[in-house]
Chains A and B, each alone.
Chain A
């Protein structure tokens, strides 16, 4: 079966990112496929390459990236939700004349249409919120 996940919560503030990650690992281990993980609302904070957790805590951004590389999963971040929370890629930083960009490699900024597409292309869309 084809799954997609929607993550609406930031890491470290709630358990939702952890739950989403463990659900992703379990579904892949069961032989299902994961089409896309869509980060929306405060969930966009999962994609910042500047997150610097202590060594004994989970590094969510790197974990999503590794999972994506290993299983060819599309990591999409809502562009409107990201920009207003200070998550920018190089193109957007240039467009808005900002001094830096921080979207982690492997994540892509895009629109809500990608969430609709994930719902259409997947057998199940599972949301992990606040």
Chain B
């Protein structure tokens, strides 16, 4: 059953994104929000694992407002999708449950 994982901490300072990615399965989605959007940068400590998971079918999203608030628009991995709060709501309905990592 698919889960939407939300991660709101930067992987540069916290281990929550790495923990989340270690148990993420192919039909899951990952939404990066708040400082979690630092995980969408090309220089993120989790870049290799994120790319592996995306190639296996995991969809990874970053909340656009939080990306813009941190000036990261031009520093993101190209395979991460941008979404807004309406998109966040829709993702919540498309997955069986929402698991928050904080």
**Which A residues are closer than 8 A to B by beta carbons?**
1, 3, 8, 14-16, 19, 22-23, 25-27, 29-30, 32, 123-130
Selected from B6, B35, B89, the residue in CB contact (under 8 A) with A32 is B89
Using A124-B97, A129-B8 as known contacts, say yes or no to A16 and B89 having CB atoms under 8 A apart. Answer: no
Bound-state CA distance A25–B33 (Å) is 16
A30 near B102 (CB under 8 angstroms)? no
Kindly list 18 other residue pairs between chains A and B, CB separation below 8 angstroms, not including A25-B85, A124-B93, A126-B92: A3-B92, A14-B34, A15-B34, A16-B34, A19-B8, A22-B85, A23-B85, A23-B89, A26-B88, A27-B92, A29-B86, A30-B89, A32-B93, A124-B92, A124-B98, A125-B97, A127-B98, A127-B100
Given contacts A15-B34, A16-B8, A124-B92, contact A26 B97 (CB under 8 A): no
Interface size class of B (residues with CB under 8 A): 10 to 19
Q: For the complex, what is the distance from the CA of A127 to the CA of B34, rounded to whole Å?
A: 14
Report the tally of A-B residue pairs with Cβ distances under 8 A. Answer: 54
> Which of chain A's residues has its CB closest to B98's CB?
A126
- A-B contacts, 14 of them at CB < 8 A, read A14-B34, A16-B102, A23-B88, A25-B85, A26-B85, A26-B88, A27-B92, A124-B93, A124-B97, A126-B100, A127-B100, A128-B8, A129-B102, A130-B8
